[in-house]
Amino acid sequence: MLKHIEELFMKYHSGEEGLSSATVEKNRKAYGQNQIEEKKKTNFFVKFLKSFKDSLIIILMVAAVVSVIIDPTAYVDSIIILIVVFFNSVLGVVQETKAEHSLEALKKMSSPTSKVIREGKKRIIPSSEVVVGDVLLVEAGDYVAADALLMESVDLAVDESALTGESLPVNKNVRDINEINLPIGDQKNKIFSSTFITSGKAKAIVTEVGMHTEVGRIAELLNEKTDATTPLQHKLSSVGKMIGFMAIGICAVVFLLEMLSCFKNGEDLSKAWVECFKTAIALAVAAIPEGLATVVTIVLAIGVGKMSKRNAIVKRLPAVETLGSCNVICSDKTGTLTQNKMTVQKIYYNELKSIQKIGERERELLSYFALCCDATIDNEIIGDPTEVALLEANQSYGRVLQEKRVLEIPFDSTRKRMTVVIKKENTYLAITKGAPDFLIEQSNLTDMEKKKIMEVNQQMASQALRVLALATQSFSSKPTEYQLEKNMTFMGLVGMIDPARPDAKEAIALAKDAGIRTIMVTGDHLLTASAIAKELGIIEGEHEAITAKELDSLSDEELLKNIEKYGVYARVAPKDKVRIVEAWKKKDAIVAMTGDGVNDAPALKKADIGCAMGITGTDVSKEAADMILVDDNFHTIVSAVKQGRGIYDNIRKCVKYLLSSNIGEVVTIFLASLISAITNISIGVPLLPIHLLWINLITDSLPAFGIGMEEVEDTIMNESPRPKKEGFFAHHMSIQIVIEGFIIGICALISYSIGHFLEHSHITGQTMAFFTLSTAQLLHAYNVKSKYSVFSLKSYKNHFLNFAIFIGFVLQVLVVYCPGIYTLFQFEPLSFTNLTICICLGLLIVVYSELFKKD
């Protein structure tokens, strides 16, 4: 027995006969339970209350309360506002709750029962009862319950894809490995919790359980608290704060102006201040864009619907925009950039050829490789991926197989070869496939021939191809095992690899053109990862690739300094992926992370947006991610980036539209109060709170939804990603909002003045101001929606927006002309002349915008 096994027996008070009952309890107390611990969850009610801390939500609640205080009969407006608040809060909590099941998925991966030896007897126990020091028995078809060191093994192969992300089973055996800090994939003498035994059997001593296992460490990383707010949420929060300060400022200024006007008119200020205060508060409340939060939520929901049709399922609404603003995509290799399927690429028979250009001799060679396989691909694919690749290559390029084997020597990891004997007419043919070095040595080749074949072997290996050799022997009678695998006739080599996805190269190039860098982060070997990365255009030379060992040797400061130098990280562990993501984030990058294994889950959660694979992805990776790619296609990410950019652009348009409309309302009232305060002209109040609330909640919201449904413009992927610190109102948007708002407001005030002074009717003035304001805002939607002129047919492709504006005009006409309704709003029907004046004044905002459009 190996020395380190004996040392573990002594340390854990175990042995060949396993643990005693008393020792089981001692070890459980000393080393812990074999369970994944969950962080304490926040209950639904607390989450619901926390959702009200958003600035816009607070403003909306204040709007509802103040509306009732000012006018108790306006309870309908308050109910509408509270419904908006409730809808947004519930929607946010539901989305958050759906994203909190990562650890539950980890638990599902655990084997329900395990076989152990205790007190010399084989027992089947619940996996949660396995303790450190237990002697664990595993065989093909078992999930491993805990991390363990091998004591005995026979042809053991383990699927570790859940931890390493690599699809090929790993051959394990008992050996001394003294090197520390090895990647999981290189620890050939250990088996790990949540991995799957594909072949063979073994006996192992448990060294780690529960949260101390490799999968437990992943769970611990998932438990770490992360900032779940996205760039869009940060920016909308700043918008909300800005609106709040604006509303407070309006309150103060309008209150002073109203008080000044009352003073000039000789009114009793001790009584007048209450009405002045109510007017100021009412104006501020009405000036807040009550529909903004709902519009943004629905625009995001529309984006989610569009993305689902393009094979990208989004779990959190704000994550749509985040992907659109990312400038770094850290991607797993296997199954994401590659096909997750071994494929024969090269074949050697006297000369090296690609498989598409082989001749008759190479076809025969392929058929021999296929005969020496245990896998099947008839009704379903069963077997080792390497053998499946050989069968599929023969099916496409080789010969039809008729021969039946009469003898075989199975493959094992020590011999690294497999032999079958088939009867071929009156002779017996032995076919051996395996590692090239052994078959070359055991073949009847000259030294020159051996040298040439080894050079070809090295050439294929340098291209990251997995190389297998084949040799044969002929017998006149059925041979014995003793006669086989000696003095063979060397036939040839095949080279295979998990190839790059056909469209991944194009997707990476498109991402590069859009200013997005792709980084490969993989558990595979450096040589294989570098070869695929070069083919895909991720890197140009080997100096841009680094291993986990080299990464560990770098301090956080060194990594941060050199992070932009590396395009490939090979043999990485889960903690390395998190470290890479964190380093890029410290560089102010917005990072997307793709992956499919348990090993990817912590990095998926840590990234600004995690993208899990829908087909090959584990439950853990899907639950930890923000988005799931249904088709496992890297190209889908580029499409999602385009949609994300378009959605963010549409949200900016919506905010611009709503705020310019609200500034127009504020300007109308503010200038009227200012004129009354500084002149002897009593201009009155152009609009009542009910008029403004109707415009904000009804007239503005429908066109805003239409703007949110605008199709993404084709040129958007030619732009660079937005800088992380770029403000929401960048590129002079705030100036444009103010100018457009002033034009709308002045037009409404002119319209009011015509009715108030020329028609000598305050009600006519208010009606004209309302109709002008509504008309200007409805038409302004066409200005905001795109860069195209309103005289271009492209401006009318958005059918929902066309319908929304039509409905807006219908509602506005009903409010002004329908008996009963116009009385409720304190309006009166307008004459044809006054109606024409209102429409003409409303069109002035279109004229202004057309002057500044390129097309």
Torsion sign over Cα 606, 609, 614, 619 = positive
Report the alpha-carbon distance of residue 387 to residue 476 in Å, rounded: 28
Report the alpha-carbon distance of residue 309 to residue 640 in Å, rounded: 11
Residues 6+ apart with CB under 8 A from 795: 782, 785, 786, 788, 789
Report the alpha-carbon distance of residue 355 to residue 497 in Å, rounded: 13
Find out whether 416 and 438 touch, Cβ atoms under 8 Å: yes
649 is catalytic: no
Report the alpha-carbon distance of residue 323 to residue 798 in Å, rounded: 24
The token pair at 322 is 């985040």
Torsion sign over Cα 39, 43, 46, 50 = positive
Instruction: State phi, psi for 131 to the nearest 5 degrees.
Output: -125, 165
Report the alpha-carbon distance of residue 433 to residue 496 in Å, rounded: 14
| Residue 784 Cα distances to 39, 156, 177, 790, 853, angstroms | 46, 65, 67, 10, 11
Report the alpha-carbon distance of residue 446 to residue 427 in Å, rounded: 26
Contacts 24+ apart (CB under 8 A), 281-284: 281/66, 281/70, 281/251, 282/66, 282/67, 282/70, 282/689, 283/250, 283/251, 283/254, 283/666, 283/669, 283/689, 283/692, 284/247, 284/248, 284/250, 284/251, 284/254
Q: Which of 134, 142, 147, 332 is an active site residue?
A: 332
Exposure b/e, 672-686, CB count within 10 A at least 16 = b: bbbbbbeeeeebebb
SS3 of 227, please? coil
Q: How many CB atoms lie within 10 A of CB 727?
A: 12
The token pair at 275 is 């009405």
Amino acid sitting at position 79: I
SS3 of 209, please? coil
Find out whether 570 and 526 touch, Cβ atoms under 8 Å: yes
CA 135 to chain centre: 41
Which 8-state DSSP code applies to residue 230? -
Helix pair angle (634-678, 292-309), 10° resolution: 160
| Residue 440 Cα distances to 418, 469, 574, angstroms | 15, 8, 39
Amino acid sitting at position 75: Y
Report the alpha-carbon distance of residue 317 to residue 233 in Å, rounded: 10
Q: How many CB atoms lie within 10 A of CB 33?
A: 15
Residues 6+ apart with CB under 8 A from 460: 346, 348, 352, 467, 493, 495
CA 761 to chain centre: 59
Q: How do 121-126 and 545-547 pair as beta strands?
A: unpaired
Report the alpha-carbon distance of residue 772 to residue 835 in Å, rounded: 9
Find out whether 420 and 431 touch, Cβ atoms under 8 Å: yes
Find out whether 208 and 147 touch, Cβ atoms under 8 Å: yes
HEC per residue, 249-294: HHHHHHHHHHHHHHHHCCCCHHHHHHHHHHHHHHHHHHHCCCCHHH
- N-to-C CA span, the chain: 82
Residues serving a catalytic function are 332
